[in-house]
Amino acid sequence: MPRRKRPEGTRAPNGASSIYLGNDGYWHGRVTVGTRDDGRPDRRHVQAKTEAEVIEKVRKLERERDEGKVRQPGRAWTVEKWLTYWVENIAAATVRPTTMVGYRASVYKHLIPGVGKHRLDRLQPEHLERLYARMQQNGLKAATAHLAHRTVRVALNEAKRRRYITENPAKVAKPPRVEEEEIVPFTVAEARRILAAASRMRNGSRFIIALTLGLRRGEALGLKWSDITVTWKHGCPKKSACRTAYRAEECEQRRGSGTLTIRRAIQQRVWKHGCPDAKPCGHRYGAHCPQRHSGGVVATDVKSRAGRRTVGLPHPVVEALEEHRARQQVERETARDEWEEGGWVFTNRWGRPVHPTVDFDAWKALLRTANVRDARLHDARHTAATMLLVLQVPLPAVMEIMGWSEASMAKRYMHVPHELVTAIADQVSGMMWPEPEPGDGRDTAESGPELTADQVAAIRELASTMPERLRVRFEAILSDDAGGDDPLVGGVVPT
């Protein structure tokens, strides 16, 4: 049906959409969606071969305008241009350097080569899904494709927030399924062997607190002595001479308690090239550049606000830390002027923080010494969380100890051990199939052991010394439970 012409001498109201047939043979539509930065109306243009198509496009623009989903004016971004801007100017200023390593790898190695030529507002979920499939066909793991998916989803969320796109196609695209690696926490026997071996190695208390308190690697290596407070109490009897002659920390039976506050973490950052672009050093990696910078071991804030926490120290952990403090003092005196005092709890031979790679090698050596199966250092954190589950610690307290910001983390870290499964099964058995209580039956096997002749003689002698009333009752009980010619021989001990 052709559009009705407006009566002559009238005009459309300000801001109304317009549809007309151009001299080029195409139908055109213009929709006012807002105001530009300079105050002029922001009118968007659409065109099609038929009037019906233009009407549909105009109505779509009007709906987007009314819902606040119209993209920003100006030439549309390409995916490559937006991802480059996002990763270097937005993400780099807001996320941790270790996170940036993954972001840059996904953007420059996979996303830009795979979908970078698309216009940002025309990127479809199918484009991303085909990219993930190609990545896996080229031999990459599903986890790598999943990381690329998470990266582009975050980047496009920011583009949508700035109205460069109206919808995020990465939210619709289906990433490849990643098979979660089964985590098996250490058993009690394995944990005890690890603790015993750690007490005999240098910096061994670092693994003791990892296994018992669940600290992350960076959190443990970032501890300073100022973060630890210890209170000693006498363990000897209250009126002993030790309490008047010695201080609590000098008592042979002393008991220590304390707290550990987590404020920082040690991270290993990637070295960057410092050579000028006009005269590169020729090395591929920044770590080999003679003018490298911004890398190495650095101390940073903890992962999140929930990570800044205070946890209690059990007495054995306090003792292990005090022994470690004494050994560190010997190393400090041996190193003399070479020692760099930083107050770190765990150090190398010169007082500097332990390098994460050295810490990893020490953990693997500890497992071999303790004759325990090979496992990740992070599995010690899973073990600590599982221990809290077995001890039935309330979830809010577990979140505080472990430094979790979301309760959903418990599902990932807390595993139900075999011992707990069997204990629950025993409880179900006891509830549904209770064992019969001892009754008044004459069954010797259920009531107690049979009486020998010597025992009968001893009982008669004991009964003869009792008052008459008690003696009669006592012999009556034995006679009821006895059998044979003698009312006592072959009887049972009443229960």
78-108 pLDDT per residue, tens: 999 999 999 999 998 888 888 898 999 999 9
- Is residue 495 very low, low, confident or very high in pLDDT (cuts 50, 70, 90)? very low
φ/ψ of residue 298, rounded to 5: -135, 155
Q: Which one from 110, 149, 381, 382 is the annotated catalytic residue? A: 381
Which residue has better confidence, 404 or 111? 111
Please indicate whether residue 378 is annotated as part of the active site.
Answer: yes
Collect contacts of 471-478 with beta carbons under 8 A, ≥24 apart.
Answer: none
Chain centre distance of CA 401: 12
pLDDT tens-place string over residues 275-302: 888 888 888 878 788 888 878 888 888 8
**Least confident window among 34-38, 65-69, 71-75, 156-160:** 71-75
Beta carbons within 8 Å of 484's beta carbon, 6+ residues apart: 490
Residue 72 pLDDT > 80, yes or no?
no
Q: Which one from 77, 86, 363, 404 is the annotated catalytic residue? A: 404
Q: What's the CA gap between 370 and 364, in Å, rounded? A: 10
This prediction's pTM: 0.67
Q: Which one from 233, 271, 303, 376 is the annotated catalytic residue? A: 233
Residue 466 pLDDT > 70, yes or no?
no
Beta carbons within 8 Å of 424's beta carbon, 6+ residues apart: none
Please indicate whether residue 404 is annotated as part of the active site.
Answer: yes
pLDDT tens-place string over residues 256-281: 889 999 999 988 888 888 888 888 88
Residue 434 pLDDT > 80, yes or no?
no
Please indicate whether residue 216 is annotated as part of the active site.
Answer: yes
Residue 387 pLDDT > 90, yes or no?
no
- Is residue 3 very low, low, confident or very high in pLDDT (cuts 50, 70, 90)? low
Q: Which one from 224, 325, 355, 378 is the annotated catalytic residue? A: 378
Supply the mean pLDDT for the chain.
83
Residue 12 pLDDT > 70, yes or no?
no
Residue 20: strand pairing partners:
28
Residue 448 pLDDT > 60, yes or no?
no
Burial level of 368, CB count in 10 A (0-12/13-18/19+)? exposed
pLDDT tens-place string over residues 317-353: 999 999 999 999 999 999 999 999 999 999 999 999 9
Residue 276, amino acid: P
| pLDDT of res. 410 | 82
Please indicate whether residue 255 is annotated as part of the active site.
Answer: no
Instruction: Look at the block and give the residue holding tokens 């490849």.
Output: 176
Average pLDDT of 235-249? 87
Please indicate whether residue 285 is annotated as part of the active site.
Answer: no
Chain centre distance of CA 156: 25
Beta carbons within 8 Å of 312's beta carbon, 6+ residues apart: 257, 258, 259, 260
Residue 269: strand pairing partners:
296
Give the closest residue to 307 by CA, choosing from 273, 266, 347, 264: 264
| pLDDT of res. 6 | 57
- Is residue 462 very low, low, confident or very high in pLDDT (cuts 50, 70, 90)? low
Please indicate whether residue 233 is annotated as part of the active site.
Answer: yes
